[in-house]
Structure 1
Amino acid sequence: MATLVRHGANRIVIYSEDHRPSHVHVVGPEHAAVFLLNCNGDPLSHGPVEIRENHGFKGKDLVPIVALIEANLEKLCAEWRRVHGDY
C-alpha cells in the first residue's frame, strides 16, 4: 500500500493485494471510506467517482475528498492499472 494523495490527516491509497473493480481507500485516523473510480481504457472518460463504503466520515467531510479524487482521477486510474493490470 502506498499513499498516492493526502488530504489533511487522510490518505488515499490503492492496496496491491486488492480486488476489482478499480477503487481507492481513504484512510483517516478514525474513519475510512472506499470510492469506486470507474476507470476504463479511455483516460478522458474515467469516472464518475462513486462512494461504495463509508465508515465514520460525515457527508460534508466527503465533499472535498471526492473533489480531490476527481482532480487526480487520471493518476489514480493509471496507478490502479499499474498495480492490477487492465480494468
Structure 2
Amino acid sequence: MPTILKFNGLRAVIYLNDQRPCQVHVMGHGGEARFELRGPDGPLELRESHFFPHARLNRIAEMLAGQMPRLVADWRALHGRH
C-alpha cells in the first residue's frame, strides 16, 4: 500500500487490491478514514471513518480536495483508468 501523500502527521494511501471506485485511505493519530474520489475535479465523499473526530475529518477532506487531480492520477497509475 503506497503512501501517496503525507500531511499533519497523517498519511494517505492507496491499497493495491482496491476495487472501483477510486479511493484513498487516510491513517494516523489512531484513526482511519476512506474517501471516494469522484474524478479529478471532485467531489470527494467520506465513505467510512474509524476514530477520527468530525472536525479532523473536515480538515482531512479539505486537504484531499486540494489534491484531487494528483490523487486520482496516482490511483489510476496503480489500477488503470476505470
CA RMSD of aligned residues (A): 1.1
SS at match of 1:79: helix
Runs of 4+ in 1 over 2 A off after TM superposition: none
TM-score under structure 1 normalisation? 0.87
Bigger proportion of residues as strand: 2
For 1:6 and 1:62, how far apart are their aligned partners in 2? Answer: 15
For 2:2 and 2:23, how far apart are their aligned partners in 1? Answer: 14
| 2:55 partner letter | K
Structure 2 residues not aligned, in runs of 5+: none
SS at match of 2:72: helix
Identity %: 39
SS at match of 2:24: strand
> Match for 2:47 among 52, 57, 66?
52
Note if 1:27 corresponds to 2:27. yes
Bigger Cα displacement from structure 2, 70-79 vs 9-18: 9-18
Q: How far did 1:25 drift?
A: 0.1
Give 2:74's aligned residue. 79
Q: How far did 1:86 drift?
A: 1.2
For 1:81 and 1:73, how far apart are their aligned partners in 2? Answer: 12
The 5-angstrom pairing of residues 9-28 of structure 1 reads 9-28=9-28
TM-score under structure 2 normalisation? 0.92
| 1:11 partner letter | R
